[in-house]
Amino acid sequence: MRYEVKAVLSGQGTVKLELEANSEEEARLQVIEQGGMVLSVKRSFTGFTFKSKTTFPLVHFSQELLSLLTAGLSLVESIETLVDKEQDAGIRKVIQDLLARLYEGITFSSALEEYPHAFPALYISTVRASERTGDLPEALTRFISYQTQMDSVRKTLVGASIYPVLLLTVGLLVSMFLLVFVVPKFSAIYDDIGSDLPWLSVLLIQWGQFVHERGGELAVIAIALFSAIFYGITRPKFKAYAMRQLWRIPAIGENMRVYQLARFYKTLGMLQRGGIPITQALDMVSGLLQPHFRPSVEAAAKHIREGKTISSAMEMEGLTTAVGNRMLRVGERTGLMGDMMERIGNFHDEEIARWVEWTTKLIEPILMAVIGIVIGGIIILMYMPIFDLAGSIN
């Protein structure tokens, strides 16, 4: 539950805080622990709101923790420092609870396990592996590098899709405006000459008359239809179905497969470099992939347990490309399998980046041409009766 607390904090004066707590008393205690004096506490409204829940900044937390550890502070001292500097109440509570668990004598990885919403399984496993070697800074460095690369690829894909989606949305809105508001005005003018027009103009005018006469009913139907469509596309079953259909398109499906393999090998490489056995790493990575990949990952892990090489197991289950398979064999010969897997992931990332750039350059002019033809066609059909009338007068 969220509570709004008005309090006096040292050096800040009177402030308003939003705290996560199980009760009003717990909210008061959180402020008192910060050295503050509580003035009032009230329950926050938890209905519909546009304000999203604060997510735990895992990469930022790891970077700050790494800096403190590298500076010579112990793990407990580093966490204490992070608690002192954190201003966000929700994030501060998570770090405080981690510190309390460390005071109790449990390991850092066990403390992290109690907060799965903030610390993913990969992060916990990386920290646990570092506890065997005593090199937590190196583990944090590997995870930060891995997460930064994954975020970079994700931002590239999202950034490349923004302009085409925006262009398509604007084109659809303009077309809807013309069909719903402009065409009905023209249709009222062209009632008497509709029979002498091209059939497309007649059809457009009839649509305008229909909107003019049944506008209210059409609006209700449109709202219901859009609500049903929005509800449907937000369902997990629809998303899974749409994803399966995309995978069946050769050009798109193959590149989606390469993107999945890039994530797969980057994650495996990070875990391998952290000292986690390959079969255990495969079990951990399978949850990050699309569902139809997971049986192949489980089968590959089984082949490796039976004594097959990593490269042959991956090749048998279709979890590699021609280039990736050759690089895996090199890794088996040199013993640097973790580094080689990360290189495979980077190679596939570059391949995906080139494909995204090429696809974006191709789609944008096609969308502009299609939208221009649609909007221009509607306008020409609306003005066709005027051209016809001018010709008859001449």
82-130, pLDDT tens digit by residue?
A: 888 888 888 888 888 888 888 888 888 888 888 888 888 778 877 887 8
Res 47: pLDDT:
43
- What average pLDDT does range 2-28 have in this prediction? 69
Range name among 45-59, 139-153, 328-342 with the lowest pLDDT average: 45-59
> Does residue 282 contact residue 303 with C-beta atoms inside 8 Å?
no
Over residues 41-66, the pLDDT tens digits come to 777 654 433 344 457 888 888 888 88
Residue 350 CA to residue 358 CA, distance in Å, equals 12
| Residue 109 CB coordination number (10 Å) | 18
Task: Record the tokens describing residue 272, joined without a space.
Answer: 């391998």
| H/E stretch holding 20 | strand 13-20
- What average pLDDT does range 250-275 have in this prediction? 81
pTM of the model: 0.59
What percent of the chain stands above pLDDT 90?
0
The torsion defined by the Cα of 347, 352, 353 and 359, in degrees rounded to 10, comes to 150
Residue 319 CA to residue 321 CA, distance in Å, equals 7
Res 196: pLDDT:
58
Q: Where are the domains of the chain?
A: 2-43, 58-148, 149-394
Domains 2-43 and 149-394 share a fold: no
Q: Which CATH number does the domain 2-43 belong to among 1.10.8, 1.10.3470, 1.10.287, 3.10.20? A: 3.10.20
Q: Which CATH number does the domain 149-394 belong to among 3.40.50.300, 1.20.970.10, 1.20.81.30, 1.10.1060.10? A: 1.20.81.30
Residue 205 has pLDDT above 80, yes or no: no
Q: At the top level of CATH, which class does the domain 58-148 belong to?
A: mainly alpha
Q: Where are the alpha helices (DSSP H) in the chain?
A: 24-33, 58-70, 75-85, 89-103, 108-113, 121-133, 136-177, 183-189, 199-213, 215-233, 236-248, 250-273, 278-285, 294-305, 310-316, 322-334, 337-393
Task: Record the tokens describing residue 94, joined without a space.
Answer: 């998570």
Res 51: pLDDT:
40
> Does residue 246 contact residue 290 with C-beta atoms inside 8 Å?
no
Range name among 71-85, 236-250, 316-330 with the lowest pLDDT average: 236-250
**Sheet order of strands, 2-9 included:** 13-20, 2-9, 37-43
End-to-end CA gap in the chain: 77
Range name among 53-57, 352-356, 372-376 with the lowest pLDDT average: 53-57
Residue 170 has pLDDT above 60, yes or no: yes
- What average pLDDT does range 168-191 have in this prediction? 76
What's the pLDDT band for 22 if we cut at 50, 70, 90? low
Highest mean pLDDT among 56-70, 125-139, 351-365: 56-70
Res 50: pLDDT:
37
The residues near 301 (Cβ < 8 Å, ≥ 6 apart) are 278, 279, 282, 283, 313
Res 58: pLDDT:
86
Give the type of residue at 222: A
Res 52: pLDDT:
42
